[in-house]
Homo-oligomer: A and B are copies of this chain.
Amino acid sequence: MNISRTLDYAVRSLTYMGAKPIDNISMKEISENQYIPINYLAKIMRRLVKRGLVRSMVGPSGGYSLRRTPNEINLKEIYEAVEGEIRLIECMEDDKICRLYEGCPQLPVWDKVQVSFVKILRETTLEDMVKGNINKIDA
């Protein structure tokens, strides 16, 4: 139960971009400012591009830009972009039946945790993080 470094990298990169009002921020700049291995960052950025969170431009003066304003991007999207579907426990897969129980007694617990987790992610925007005003979100 922990946040992967990969997700941390993605969030840091996007936060960095969101805090700058200019387009075409190069991987190099993000990498150096956020201490992220550039080759690894490349892989992460591709996923963000694929998911439509950022737009890329090749060539000199190329780089990445946010496709939407920071208040239109929430953490859930970022999570799913880099990690895929949110699923706390294997048996929560859609069509997987738990081998042990008809009605697993602990599934509702993990489900509740997951719902609450997703709720927080969905309600938190990149703008919140850029501005650092997380407290505004109701706990």
Q: Which residues of A contact B (CB under 8 A)?
A: 1-5, 7-8, 11-12, 15, 34-35, 75, 79, 83, 86-90, 99-100, 103, 105-106, 108-110, 112-113, 115-117, 120-121, 124, 128-132, 134-135, 137, 139
Listed from nearest, the 8 A-B pairs whose CB atoms lie closest are A108-B134, A3-B89, A105-B129, A105-B132, A116-B116, A113-B120, A3-B88, A106-B129
Contact B130 A105 (CB under 8 A): yes
Contact A117 B11 (CB under 8 A): no
Contact A112 B89 (CB under 8 A): no
Instruction: Name A's interface SS.
Output: helix
Given A105-B15, A105-B129, A134-B108, residue A1 in contact with residue B86 (CB < 8 A)? yes
Copies assembled: 2
With CB as the reference atom, state the residue of chain B lying closest to A91: B8
Residues of B within 8 A of A103 (CB): 132
Residues of B within 8 A of A113 (CB): 117, 120-121
Q: How far is the CB of A88 from chain B (nearest CB, A)?
A: 5
Given A86-B1, A132-B105, residue A139 in contact with residue B120 (CB < 8 A)? no
Contact A88 B137 (CB under 8 A): no
The CA-CA distance from A109 to B74 in the complex, in Å, is 12
Q: How far is the CB of A113 from chain B (nearest CB, A)?
A: 5
